């Protein structure tokens, strides 16, 4: 080994000075004189993909290219952590691109990263503003900014609030030091703060799943949320096209025959039968995928101390909810229905099957059920569910004995509710519409993770139907206008209810209030007027213990107002809402309140008796917001006295 060193030293001295030779010897690990192998840890990225909860499925080029770009940033961040350099030497560029394209072909066969996405070779090994090392980056930004990055990002980034705080800090550093965003295909300067934070500020390093999700937007669950639905939509589009072409003459013939025979009534009947078949088939599919426990009635009685009043933890229109302890020692919640006639068995079976068919962290899980006919007591129908110990969102918002929720907790609750509803709408087939989303039906565990409960009103959406026409069920203030007035139910009806709950969560005010002899006041109307006047932050409860960033709170207010818009198709879908709340997904403009023509009152509990939805038969008028300040005072006045609905 010493002999090799002296030979090498002699060769160096024959071409240049001794000092330059020594300097070059220190750079050899990073800069080779010829094409070098790729020093990036490609296997680390491969391991992250393989260990994801579900397989990666990317169906559009834009999503695929964004994923590949973020993967390059992740690999460069890991390289920065281990070597101190932001990018490998330029002569390793081709080797790294070859290795990276080989990785992409493992799950995207035939996908050429550079050719498809237009990535330039410099993206893998290029620098930014002559910054190549950690020390050069740290000398560029101020000491206070470095300390801010350390304070905000040196923690687990799996939590939405801590992730948001870290990213807000990095965006400010990027804006103040690197100027406006540039083409990520050229120098990718704006990603340098994120690569630096992942490498040196995050205590878990760049390859931690929380860091990967937060700083590089590589959330595998998010990439796959809509995959099944998108794929299904594409297949349906192709099928419709083929069907239209091949069945054109048959369709004309059928229409002609129907017109000649005046079979409109039979056509309506056929549609109704297809709807019923959709519900029936949905029940059969779900029933096959559930494994419920049928508890003996005696065990239920023992668990609830013979349905003791002391064990009641909730009361509602459908029955009482009891706390109980099963034979195995586990605590459960048991819902006992008041309607003990045999005619209610179908509704009971519907609720049990719906709850048992789904599993999600933000949905209450069913343990089993009990059905029995008891002499002198009639039919007994009981659902056994997991017990959520921390009460409901309604309790924490409107019970004066409860401590007020901080902004990070409210933000976590909002995102959890949105994810739960998005799963009901897009994560199961057929889609499930909850129909009764309200604060009292959102339970909180000890970590304030929300869980949607009470699926007694749930409805299936048969494939191919945009909405259902059904008897109105729900709670005043939370029911969407098109559902309350016309019985038209769709996923966007749940979106409206979510918007109202989000407004309650943000403002600390109830969804509906009775004014002093002037009718009903809706929280959604008042919030819309505040946004219209340019004061969205006036909606936020400023008395909460810990406020968040103003722009984040304002974003939540705008999302809530958009969701509670009176026009169904002005509302976003729940998967879009999740992206709006958890990322910088662009918000659409909020349409003005529509003209209302000949709307009529309908009976409570599904009526909207405020002036916002009522007009005279003689003409049209816009939603009325003539007394915004009086609405606010009335809401505050009755907010503490309104009863739990």
Q: Which tens digits make up the pLDDT trace of 23-52?
A: 333 333 444 445 788 999 988 888 888 876
Q: What is the mean pLDDT of residues 255-273?
A: 59
Q: Average per-residue pLDDT in the chain?
A: 75
Residue scoring higher pLDDT (274 or 452): 452
* Ligand-binding site membership of 643 (annotated): no
Q: What is the mean pLDDT of residues 137-155?
A: 91
Residues 636, 639: Cα–Cα separation, whole Å: 5
**Is residue 610 pLDDT above 70, yes or no?**
no
Query: What's the pLDDT at 279?
Result: 38
Three-class secondary structure of residue 624 per DSSP: coil
- Which one-letter DSSP state was computed for residue 39? -
**Percentage above 70 pLDDT, the chain:** 69
Cβ pair 483, 606 in contact under 8 A: yes
Check if the beta carbon of residue 406 is closer than 8 Å to that of residue 398. no
**Where does residue 34 rank: exposed (0-12), middle (13-18), buried (19+ CB within 10 A)?**
exposed
Q: What is the DSSP letter of 489?
A: E
What is the rounded CA–CA span in Å between residue 605 and residue 607?
6
Q: Are 332 and 367 in contact (CB under 8 A)?
A: yes
Query: How many angstroms separate the CA atoms of 68 and 217, rounded?
Result: 11
- What mean pLDDT do residues 156-170 have? 87
**Alpha-carbon distances of 309 from 139, 301, 312, 320, 323, rounded to whole Å:** 68, 13, 5, 10, 10
Q: What is the model's pLDDT at position 596? A: 40
Q: Report the pLDDT averaged over residues 631-636.
A: 42
Q: How far apart are CA 125 and CA 317, in angstroms?
A: 65
**What mean pLDDT comes out for the span 340-366?**
74
- pLDDT band per the 50, 70, 90 thresholds, residue 347: low
pLDDT attached to residue 590: 87
pLDDT at 534 over 80: yes
Just list the catalytic residues. 436
Secondary structure element (H or E) that encloses residue 23, with its range: helix 18-27
pLDDT at 341: 65
| Dist CA 279 CA 432 (whole Å) | 11
Region 121-139: mean pLDDT is 87
Dihedral sign, CA of 494, 500, 503, 505? negative
Give Cα 259 distance to the centre of its chain.
47
pLDDT of 13 > 50? The answer is no
* Residue 245, pLDDT above cutoff 80: no
Residue with token string 């949607």: 452
Of the listed ranges 156-160, 273-277, 289-293, the one predicted with least confidence: 273-277
DSSP string, 310-373: GGEEEE-SSEEEEEEE-TTS-EEEEEEES--SGGGHHHHHHHHHHHHH---TTBPPEEEEEEEE
Give pLDDT, residue 188.
Answer: 77
Q: For residues 165 and 157, give the distance between their C-alpha atoms in angstroms, rounded to a whole number.
A: 9
Has residue 516 got a pLDDT over 80?
no
* pLDDT tens-digit series, residues 198-225: 999 988 899 888 888 898 888 766 544 4
pLDDT confidence band for 103 (50 / 70 / 90): confident
Q: Residue 309, class by beta-carbon neighbours within 10 Å (0-12 exposed, 13-18 middle, 19+ buried)?
A: exposed
Strand-pairing partners, residue 363, are 452
DSSP structural state of residue 309: G
**Comparing C-alpha atoms, which of 613, 573, 565 is closest to residue 591?**
565
Q: Identify the DSSP state of 560.
A: H
């Amino acid at each position: 080994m010493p002999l090799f060193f002296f030979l090498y030293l002699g060769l160096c001295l024959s071409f240049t000075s001794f000092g330059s030779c020594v300097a070059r010897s220190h750079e050899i690990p990073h800069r080779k004189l010829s094409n070098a192998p790729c020093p990036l840890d490609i296997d680390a990225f491969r391991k992250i993909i393989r260990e994801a909860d579900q397989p990666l499925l990317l169906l559009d080029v834009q999503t695929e290219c964004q994923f590949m770009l973020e993967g390059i940033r992740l690999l460069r961040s890991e390289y920065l952590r281990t070597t101190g350099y932001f990018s490998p030497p330029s002569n390793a560029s081709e080797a790294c691109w070859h290795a990276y394209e080989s990785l992409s072909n493992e799950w995207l066969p035939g996908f050429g990263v550079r050719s498809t996405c237009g990535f330039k070779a410099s993206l893998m090994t290029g620098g930014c503003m002559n910054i190549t090392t950690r020390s050069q980056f740290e000398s560029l930004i101020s000491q206070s900014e470095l300390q801010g990055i350390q304070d905000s990002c040196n923690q687990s980034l799996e939590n939405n609030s801590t992730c948001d705080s870290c990213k807000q800090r990095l965006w400010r550093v990027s804006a103040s030091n690197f100027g406006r965003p540039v083409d990520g295909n050229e120098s990718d300067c704006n990603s340098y703060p994120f690569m630096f934070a992942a490498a040196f500020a995050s205590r878990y390093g760049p390859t931690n799943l929380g860091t990967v999700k937060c700083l590089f937007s590589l959330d595998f669950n998010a990439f796959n949320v809509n995959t099944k639905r998108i794929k299904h939509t594409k297949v349906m589009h192709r099928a419709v096209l083929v069907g239209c072409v091949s069945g054109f003459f048959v369709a004309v013939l059928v229409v002609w025959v129907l017109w000649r025979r005046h079979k409109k009534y039979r056509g309506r009947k056929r549609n109704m039968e297809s709807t019923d078949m959709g519900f029936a088939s949905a029940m059969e599919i779900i029933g096959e995928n559930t494994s419920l426990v049928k508890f003996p009635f005696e065990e239920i009685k023992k668990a609830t101390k013979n349905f003791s009043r002391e064990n009641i933890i909730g009361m509602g229109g459908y029955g009482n909810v009891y706390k109980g302890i099963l034979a195995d020692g586990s605590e459960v919640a048991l819902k006992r229905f008041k309607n003990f006639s045999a005619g209610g068995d179908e509704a009971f079976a519907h609720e049990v099957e719906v709850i048992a068919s789904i599993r999600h962290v933000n949905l209450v899980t069913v343990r089993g059920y009990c059905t029995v006919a008891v002499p002198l007591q009639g039919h007994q129908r009981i659902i056994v569910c997991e017990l959520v110990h921390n009460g409901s969102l309604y309790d924490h918002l409107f019970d004066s004995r409860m401590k007020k929720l901080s902004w990070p907790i409210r933000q976590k609750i909002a995102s959890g509710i949105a994810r739960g509803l998005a799963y009901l709408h897009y994560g199961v087939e057929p889609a499930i519409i909850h129909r009764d989303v309200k604060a009292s039906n959102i339970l909180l565990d000890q970590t304030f993770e929300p869980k949607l409960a009470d699926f007694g009103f749930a409805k299936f959406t048969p494939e191919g139907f945009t909405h259902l026409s059904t008897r109105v069920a729900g709670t005043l203030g939370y029911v969407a206008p098109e559902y309350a007035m016309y019985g038209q139910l769709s996923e966007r009806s749940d979106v409206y209810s979510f918007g109202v709950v989000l407004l309650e969560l943000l403002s600390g005010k109830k969804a509906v209030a009775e004014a002093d002899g002037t009718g009903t006041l809706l929280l959604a109307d008042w919030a819309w007027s505040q946004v219209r006047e340019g004061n969205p932050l006036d909606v936020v409860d400023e008395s909460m213990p810990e406020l968040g960033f103003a722009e984040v709170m304002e974003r939540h207010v705008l999302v809530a107002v958009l969701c509670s818009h009176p026009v169904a198709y002005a509302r976003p879908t729940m998967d879009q809402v999740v992206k709006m709340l958890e990322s910088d997904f662009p918000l659409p403009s909020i349409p003005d309140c529509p003209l209302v023509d000949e709307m009529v009152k309908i009976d409570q509990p599904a009526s909207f008796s405020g002036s916002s939805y009522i007009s005279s038969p003689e003409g049209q008028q816009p939603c009325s917001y003539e007394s915004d300040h009086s609405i606010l005072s009335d809401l505050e006045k009755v907010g503490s006295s309104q009863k739990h609905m």
